[in-house]
Structure 1
């Protein structure tokens, strides 16, 4: 007698709010769920907090795409929307000694001193952008302004451009391209075009810094050497720059957008912060847990058949880290896991990752977000989102978790 297994859950390539689906999948199928990726590529999704924590640090789980069985068999076309996540050469797709080498080279350039030195610039940039935000609201016919475009995006993009030595024009182009690179809904020709253009722009950035080194991270990465004299290859340099551009602004952009949405919808929580009963750092951590900037992050691959929460993940399967699901897992965060609570004790979210691949830019993201949110709500304490949550469109990707626009009113409407 054969046992029927439920069909894999088909991930919507156009994205959408993940939380209802995550709750249903956890209730019906458990913490580990078979999924269909774009073009019906079979994968797995880990949604439980403890299960994801175990999986991320498991010694038999790899990041290098040499372990991606379908890719190695030639079953993944060049224009597959998620191929870049697997094949880009950076520390996010390296294992063992190779990963340690790449991370060491980046870490030496991405020091705590360099991050802290950015603080005055972040504060100055936030103040300038708030002036522009207020002016844009005054010029608006209905008094609303897109916070994402006018504040949440240019702040982290400005910071990462300064850090990398990228000029404003290149920064604007890289932002537009990075949106396409992380999309899961593009046609193959669009995928290839976005990747080629991104590599072209980053190659220009690298060439400029090679010709004229400066006090920036790109120059430091070019000059950095491991103890044995090894340096980043050209492919690794471009891959690392791509990683830093996307992770350095897309995730913080989503974090800021999601935090403003949460605080606007939960005025009691904003009141606690403004009364000094919780900190802006608390807002950042609770937003990371409650509405993670990254929903389903690709990829990891078991190097052998691996059983997690009673479900076998076959060797070579591409696995997504379900940060949005783990953040609201009631087994880890209690019966109130769906509640946005900035006073939550022991906030143990995994949204910056876990283990050897923990996000190297986490301190910068935390600093940027706390500075930006404090400046925003100090300047505009009555700021509210101008439309209902269900009227906000969603991004065309199930990787990033946010909305593409956020119309707000800086003051109560007359």
Structure 2
């Protein structure tokens, strides 16, 4: 195997897709350098990623399968510590993963998704009503005013978190996905979300409600073998983070794509394309996740002639999947609702497939359809090249999304 110097990932996320293309050129699996000098493997092709996501020899448990973490070589203030220190369904392996997923899966049944629809419609209407107060020439940050609060508040409702606590926790989640944080900030992030979850759990023990946290607290208190206290806190946080951040960036990317190409938006308005087409094509060409940390090789794994040694950490490069020319040879970087094959892996595949995919599709369809119905003249207020990416190689989105809700008022002649 040819040994190259590890490719240093850009912590500022300035060019997610350019970086993914450069990594793909180095091979389907290539070594990359993370903050703190930690070296991992980036997986960059659809076929290899799909194999790894379904391979039982690949684990997400640092405490069981990452020797550097187990032996204390990864410091407690490592910049990505929150992604590996969790003990929950996301990071569990084998029987533990099955046990935790079964518990959490009860909260994401089709019946519960259907029952959640009225709340999705209600909150969408509230946010759009608030947007209508904007003046005809006012530039509005649609990420801050719509793309962010809609999924964030809905997921907070699912776990029974009050708005004040949600707003505080949102700042912690924002810092967690920021790959430019300092070690000191990374430690504060870990302490911040664990403290917030402890407070929420204590509240639900005092006053249970009709929410996921109350259900999991009941399961924990009725049978301590079902869920440890740490697993309980970390699982609730995983639901909050995964359910909000990815959907926020999905909205951001979908709205940007539709406003950047009026011919694509017209396909929706004419009925020649559906909102499901928008969802899948956005997830294909602009996965809300870029590089997701971390998985680990439980055994030596050979991938297209490259051997990933047992114990090495792995990053899945989701931003590379849908744009892989081997999967989509026809203009893979172009947003095209008429594309017959919109294959992507943004919801994952295999044992870690997203439990909330059904709710995410409901929120996406409701939010987008009502937004474009309420504001048919919606337009970007800047060129797409002026949109600033988030400071991260983990997520794919923009710092802000400036738009005008109505057509500009013509200047008076004179």
**Alignment TM-score, normalising by the size of structure 1:** 0.95
Distance 1:94 1:304 in 2: 17
User: Corresponding residue for 1:158?
Assistant: 153
The answer on 1:125 being equivalent to 2:119 is no
- Distance in 1 of aligned mates of 2:353 and 2:366: 22
Q: Helix, strand or coil: the match of 2:296?
A: strand
The CA deviation at 1:334 is 2.3
2-structure distance, mates of 1:76, 1:392:
35
Aligned pairs for 1:383-402 within 5 A: 383-402=378-397
Compute the displacement of 1:228 (Å). 8.1
Q: Equivalents in 1 of 2:218, 2:204: separation in Å?
A: 10
Query: SS in structure 2 opposite 1:333?
Result: coil
Q: 1:172 and 1:225, CA in 2 relative to 1: closer, same or farther beyond 3 A? A: closer
Counterpart of 1:173? 168
Q: Secondary structure at the match of 1:338?
A: coil
Matches within 5 A, 1:354-365: 354-365=349-360
Point out where structure 1 has 5 or more consecutive residues left out of the alignment: none
Deviation at 1:197, TM superposition (A): 1.6
Match for residue 61 of structure 2? 64
Residue equivalent to 1:245 = 240
CA distance in 1, matches of 2:23, 2:86: 30
Q: Please report how far the alpha carbon of residue 382 of structure 1 lies from its aligned counterpart in structure 2 after TM superposition.
A: 2.1
Quote the Cα distance in structure 2 between the aligned partners of 1:214 and 1:102.
Answer: 21
Instruction: Kindly indicate whether residue 276 of structure 2 is the aligned counterpart of residue 281 of structure 1.
Output: yes
**Aligned residue pairs: how many?**
408
Q: Distance in 1 between matches of 2:403 and 2:32?
A: 36
* CA RMSD in angstroms, aligned pairs only: 1.7
CA distance in 1, matches of 2:41, 2:347: 20
CA shift for structure 1 position 229: 7.4
* Structure 1 match to 2:336: 341
Distance 1:277 1:224 in 2: 47
- Alpha-carbon shift at residue 309 of structure 1 (Å): 2.1
Contact 1:79–1:189 under 8 Å retained in 2: yes
CA distance in 1, matches of 2:309, 2:96: 25
Aligned to 1:353: 348
Contact kept in structure 1, 2:82 and 2:189, CA below 8 Å: no
- The answer on whether the counterparts of 1:43 and 1:319 sit within 8 Å (CA) in structure 2 is yes
CA distance 1:228–1:172, shift in 2 (3 Å): closer
2:368 matches 1:370 = no
1:38 pairs with 2:26: no
**In 1, are the aligned partners of 2:60 and 2:295 still within 8 Å (CA)?**
yes
For 1:323-350, what per-residue CA distance to the aligned partner results, in whole angstroms no more than 9, with x for missing partners? Answer: 1101100111222211111222232210
Aligned 8 A contact 2:281 2:335 in 1: yes
SS in 2 for 1:45: strand
2:52 is matched with 55
Instruction: Report matched runs for 1:284-299 at 5 Å.
Output: 284-299=279-294
Query: Is the partner of 1:103 in helix, strand or coil?
Result: helix
Distance 2:228 2:109 in 1: 21
1:300 match: 295
User: Shift of residue 67 of structure 1?
Assistant: 0.9
TM-aligned CA distance change 1:115 to 1:155, over 3 Å: same
Q: Quick check: 254-263 or 330-339, which moved more?
A: 330-339
Paired residue secondary structure (1:91) = coil
Structure 2 CA distance, aligned partners of 1:317 and 1:412? 54
Q: TM-score, normalised by structure 2?
A: 0.95
Q: Distance in 2 between matches of 1:223 and 1:57?
A: 32
Q: Which residue of 1 aligns with 2:412?
A: none
Matches of 2:82 and 2:350, distance apart in 1: 23
3-state SS of the aligned residue for 1:93?
coil
> Superposed, which structure 2 residues align to 1:180-199 within 5 Å?
180-199=175-194
Tell me if the contact between 1:203 and 1:238 (Cα under 8 Å) persists in the aligned partners.
Answer: yes
Q: Is the 8 A contact 1:109 1:224 kept in 2?
A: no
Show the 5 A alignment for 1:60-99. Answer: 60-65=57-62, 66-99=64-97
| Aligned-partner Cα distance in 1 for 2:56–2:198 | 35
Q: CA deviation at 1:386?
A: 1.0
Q: Which structure 2 segments of 5+ residues have no match?
A: 410-414
What is the deviation of 1:108? 1.4
Q: Secondary structure at the match of 2:238?
A: helix
Report if aligned partners of 2:220, 2:228 keep a CA contact under 8 Å in 1.
no
Counterpart CA distance in 1 for 2:45 and 2:106 is 34
Contact 1:81-1:183 at 8 Å conserved across structures? no
- 3-state SS, counterpart of residue 243 of structure 2: helix
What is the match of residue 10 of structure 2?
12
- Secondary structure of 1:331's partner? coil
